[in-house]
């Protein structure tokens, strides 16, 4: 959505004429007198949630949202019992949805915006976030007189002080995150001593940062609240207790230990939980708090470096999947554990995975992400589009943006696949199921399957829903299933100076898709896709996932 360049509201910091002429005797040339009436407010403008209109305060903005967009923030707060941070997430969720072209975001449940990603402001210096305490003040003013009302006001004031403290901490955390990111970008723009450091040292630092990121609550909360993910592991373990009874299980990258505890509850004789981040200390406490310390042993370190108390294990369970499946390269460690510790005939949980690709067509998203920079509050910001097509994006894709049935380009039998096979160039073929004005990009996702033995097979074109009907546990991270924290990976096409061609339903697109680590030992991933409809419509591009 292009920002509006007009507004009927007063510009920020402009003093009305009736204030400037306080009396006939006022000498507006007197600087001291002028300073007395000119406000010193340097606050940011309140930008509407559903438009680019500038409002004098949050109250007038929320009034318009309620009247024109049927969005009542105060009512939503009350109905969903939102605290201060929940309300911040709600505001950023609404802004992100509107930015993506959705003028009626679904706010029927707190689950729609509970992801901690919504703590990051969509709009820089968003005055709405800094004005949320005004809403609480309004509610206090509406309290009925009397002893009970006074007590309630005091409680609300105390709560407001607590929330203001939390918000201050939140602002500092966001600022620190932005500063850290800018520092990293500066290092990229101005190569210095860091660029001269040996690759091994840089990879070791990146590896340390990777494990540190898993030390914080937010990432584990996000994963545990992903019911599609967590329910699948729980259901497979609890529905197949005969497979786990009296077995030795290895949990690679155990996190909070939830998978280990599932296995222990299912009757495993011994569970060894390994993780190289500080979360292992929390996991150890959680294990003992739940009375499972005699079954589960927690070990800190990389699976490639630790010494396990057993020579072999009967089952390896791990939630290793990253964006586009292989981002983070954790599966390399799981393969190492399999080859080093899994007994012959032992079970991998999950057991199979498939990677899928489909053509993507969404002009509204392209406009919000790319064309947006053409006119930002009336200013050209084309410089911001530099290299904008080089990075793969992680987003939830509307099903209407998928222009063909997806194609499986890689099947991964987890019992046998090797690390070398995770770098590849694979063919694919799709047939358009609708007319599209342009091929805007490609969407990538993966499906996971939990089979009961090392000898079980999964058809290369298997669909999780069909496998579930047969009694197996499986799930998809694709747009046609319930959204997961992995969402989908979008690779937008850079059409350059050439106008993209419209394509018709029934046209066939063939191509090749490649995965390759950024450099040997890196957790970052480079994706490449070559495609062709006919001699006049073809292309090739590379994206980074980092």
Identified catalytic residue from 64, 158, 319, 498: 319
Q: Is residue 335 part of a domain?
A: no
Tokens of 130: 């800094």
Expressed in angstroms, the distance from the first to the final Cα of the chain is 27
Q: What share of the chain is helix, strand, coil (3-state, %, to 5)?
A: 40, 20, 40
CATH number of 489's domain: 2.70.160.11
Last residue of a domain, one of 133, 151, 186: 133
Residues 362 and 507 grouped into a single domain = yes
Q: What are phi and psi for residue 531, nearest 5 degrees?
A: -145, 155
Identified catalytic residue from 137, 305, 328, 391: 328
Residues 364 and 290 grouped into a single domain = no
> According to the model, what pLDDT value does residue 123 have?
84
Alpha helix segments (H runs only) across 190-329: 193-196, 199-213, 217-224, 227-239, 241-244, 258-265, 279-289
> According to the model, what pLDDT value does residue 215 have?
42
Distance, CA of 493 to CA of 522 (rounded, Å)? 25
Q: Is residue 61 part of a domain?
A: yes
Number of structural domains found in the chain: 3
Last residue of a domain, one of 86, 113, 133: 133
Residues 371 and 427 grouped into a single domain = yes
Tally of CA atoms within 13 A in the half-sphere of 43 that contains its CB: 16
> According to the model, what pLDDT value does residue 347 have?
97
Tokens 């342009």, residue located: 438
Residues 356 and 314 grouped into a single domain = no
Residues 256 and 387 grouped into a single domain = no
Residues 356 and 315 grouped into a single domain = no
Residues 310 and 448 grouped into a single domain = no
Task: Determine the distance from the C-alpha atom of residue 378 to the mean position of all C-alpha atoms in its chain, rounded to a whole number.
Answer: 30
Task: Determine if the peptide bond prior to 131 is cis (ω within 30°).
Answer: no
Q: Is residue 300 part of a domain?
A: yes
Q: Is residue 275 part of a domain?
A: yes
- Alpha carbon distances (Å) from 272 to 299, 309, 476: 7, 8, 28
Q: Is residue 185 part of a domain?
A: no
Q: What angle do CA 15, 17, 19 make, to 5 degrees?
A: 65
Distance, CA of 254 to CA of 269 (rounded, Å)? 17
Do 446 and 353 meet the contact criterion of CB atoms below 8 Å apart? yes
> Which of 102, 388, 347 lies closest to 240, judged by CA?
347
Q: What are 160-196's pLDDT values in tens digits?
A: 655 555 555 555 555 555 555 555 555 554 554 444 4
Tally of CA atoms within 13 A in the half-sphere of 342 that contains its CB: 21
Based on C-alpha coordinates, what's the Rg of the chain? Answer: 27
CATH number of 221's domain: 3.40.50.150
Tokens of 357: 């690709």
Q: Is residue 88 part of a domain?
A: yes
Residues 289 and 364 grouped into a single domain = no
> Which of 360, 357, 444 lies closest to 401, judged by CA?
360
In the three-class reduction of DSSP (H, G, I as helix; E, B as strand; rest coil), residue 502 is classed as: coil
> Which of 103, 167, 63 lies closest to 73, judged by CA?
63
User: Which residue spans within 14-131 are E strands per DSSP?
Assistant: 46-47, 54-55
* Ramachandran assignment for 15, one of left (phi > 0), alpha (psi -120 to 50 degrees), beta (any other): beta
Residues 309 and 364 grouped into a single domain = no
Q: Residues 167-180, buried b or exposed e (16+ Cβ, 10 A)?
A: beebeeeeeeeeee
Q: Is residue 1 part of a domain?
A: no
> According to the model, what pLDDT value does residue 464 have?
94
Residues 359 and 242 grouped into a single domain = no
> Which of 82, 1, 55, 69 lies closest to 371, judged by CA?
1
Residues 461 and 362 grouped into a single domain = yes
Q: 82, exposed or middle or buried, with CB in 10 Å at 0-12, 13-18, 19+?
A: middle
Q: What are phi and psi for residue 194, nearest 5 degrees?
A: -60, -40
Last residue of a domain, one of 133, 161, 186: 133
Residues 415 and 511 grouped into a single domain = yes
Active site residue 328: yes
Active site residue 190: no
Range of 233's domain? 217-319
Low-confidence ranges of the chain (pLDDT < 50): 1-43, 140-145, 189, 192-196, 199-203, 205-216, 220
Q: Is residue 242 part of a domain?
A: yes
Distance, CA of 247 to CA of 315 (rounded, Å)? 7
> According to the model, what pLDDT value does residue 371 have?
84
């Amino acid at each position: 959505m292009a920002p509006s360049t007009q507004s009927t509201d007063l510009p920020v910091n402009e003093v009305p004429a009736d204030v400037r002429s306080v009396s006939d005797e006022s000498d507006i040339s007197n600087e001291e007198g002028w300073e007395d009436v000119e406000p010193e407010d340097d606050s940011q403008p309140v930008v509407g949630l559903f438009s680019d209109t500038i409002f004098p305060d949050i109250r007038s903005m929320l009034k318009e949202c309620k009247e024109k967009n049927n969005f009542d923030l105060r009512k939503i707060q009350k109905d969903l019992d939102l605290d201060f941070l929940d309300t911040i997430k709600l505001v950023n969720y609404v802004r992100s949805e509107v930015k993506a072209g959705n003028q009626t975001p679904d706010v029927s449940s707190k689950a729609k915006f509970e992801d901690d990603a919504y703590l990051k402001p969509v709009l820089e210096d968003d005055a709405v976030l800094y004005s949320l305490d005004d809403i609480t003040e309004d509610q206090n003013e509406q309290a009925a007189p009397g002893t009970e009302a006074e007590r309630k006001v005091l409680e609300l004031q105390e709560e407001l002080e607590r929330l203001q403290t939390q918000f201050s901490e939140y602002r500092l955390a966001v600022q620190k995150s932005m500063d850290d990111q800018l520092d990293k970008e500066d290092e990229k723009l101005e190569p210095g001593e860091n660029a001269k450091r040996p690759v091994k040292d840089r990879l070791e630092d990146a590896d340390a940062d990777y494990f540190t990121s898993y030390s914080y609550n937010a990432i584990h909360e996000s994963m545990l609240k992903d019911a599609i993910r967590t329910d699948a592991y729980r259901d497979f373990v609890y529905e197949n207790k005969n497979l786990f009874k009296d077995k030795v299980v290895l949990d690679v990258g155990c996190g909070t230990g939830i998978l280990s505890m599932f296995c222990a509850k299912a009757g495993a004789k011994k569970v060894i939980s390994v993780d190289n981040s500080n979360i292992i200390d929390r996991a150890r406490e959680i294990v003992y708090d739940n009375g499972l310390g005699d079954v589960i042993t927690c070990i800190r370190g990389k699976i490639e470096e630790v010494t396990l108390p057993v020579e072999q294990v009967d089952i390896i369970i791990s939630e290793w999947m990253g964006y586009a499946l292989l981002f983070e390269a954790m599966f390399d460690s799981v393969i190492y554990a399999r080859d080093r510790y899994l007994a012959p005939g032992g079970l991998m949980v999950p057991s199979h995975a498939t990677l899928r690709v489909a053509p993507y067509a969404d002009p509204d998203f392209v406009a919000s992400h790319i064309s947006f920079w053409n006119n930002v509050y009336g200013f050209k910001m084309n410089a911001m589009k530099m290299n904008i097509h080089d990075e793969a994006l992680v987003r939830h894709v509307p099903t209407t943006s998928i222009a063909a049935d997806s194609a499986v380009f890689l099947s991964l039998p987890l019992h046998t696949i090797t690390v070398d096979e995770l770098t590849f160039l694979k063919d694919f073929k799709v047939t358009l199921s609708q007319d599209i004005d342009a091929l805007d990009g490609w969407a990538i996702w993966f499906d996971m399957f939990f089979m009961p033995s090392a000898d079980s097979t999964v058809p290369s074109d298997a669909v999780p829903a069909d496998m579930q009907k047969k009694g197996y546990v499986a799930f998809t991270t694709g747009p046609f299933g319930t959204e997961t924290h992995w969402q989908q990976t979008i690779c937008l096409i850079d059409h350059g100076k050439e106008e993209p061609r419209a394509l018709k339903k029934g046209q066939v697109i063939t191509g090749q898709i490649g995965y390759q680590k950024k450099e040997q030992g890196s957790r970052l991933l480079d994706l490449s896709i070559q495609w062709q409809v006919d001699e006049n419509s073809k292309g090739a591009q590379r994206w980074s996932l980092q």
